[in-house]
Amino acid sequence: MPEPQRTEDGRFVVISGRRWRATDPAIPGDTAAALRKALMAARRDVGAALRSGQDPASARARVQAAKVALGERGTPWWEQTLEQRRRRWEQGLDDLTE
């Protein structure tokens, strides 16, 4: 899969003409991969809950936690110090892999 187009400042990706916040580029590759894996699992769980008529709230909370840890939601990563960013992704990884 090709890399999505980025804005000049690198803060956003453009997919199908829509702008989305980019993942924090400072996240180490293995950590980012683990967070994406947790995000995809949570998204699958949302779908499974909806298909079975169950409440998807806990799975949606995990999606939110993964997106925040990746820097795609919450305080913009470019407004945080590197230490704040590191704490964000480390805490997110801890919370999602418990």
CB distance 37 to 46 below 8 Å: no
Q: Which domain covers residue 39, as residue numbers? A: 27-96
Residue 25: alpha-carbon gap to chain centroid: 12
**pLDDT value at position 1?**
67
- Domains of the chain: total: 1
Domain annotation covers residue 35: yes
Asked, for residue 1, whether it belongs to a domain, the answer is no
Whether residue 70 contacts residue 32, with contact meaning beta carbons closer than 8 Å, is answered with yes
In a domain, 67, yes or no: yes
Quick check: helix, strand or coil at residue 18?
strand
Inside any domain, residue 18? no
* Model pTM score: 0.92
CA–CA separation, 62 vs 79, rounded Å?
A: 23
Report yes or no on 43 lying in a domain: yes
Is 34 a member of any domain? yes
Digit-coded pLDDT (tens) for 30-63: 999 999 999 999 999 999 999 999 999 999 999 9
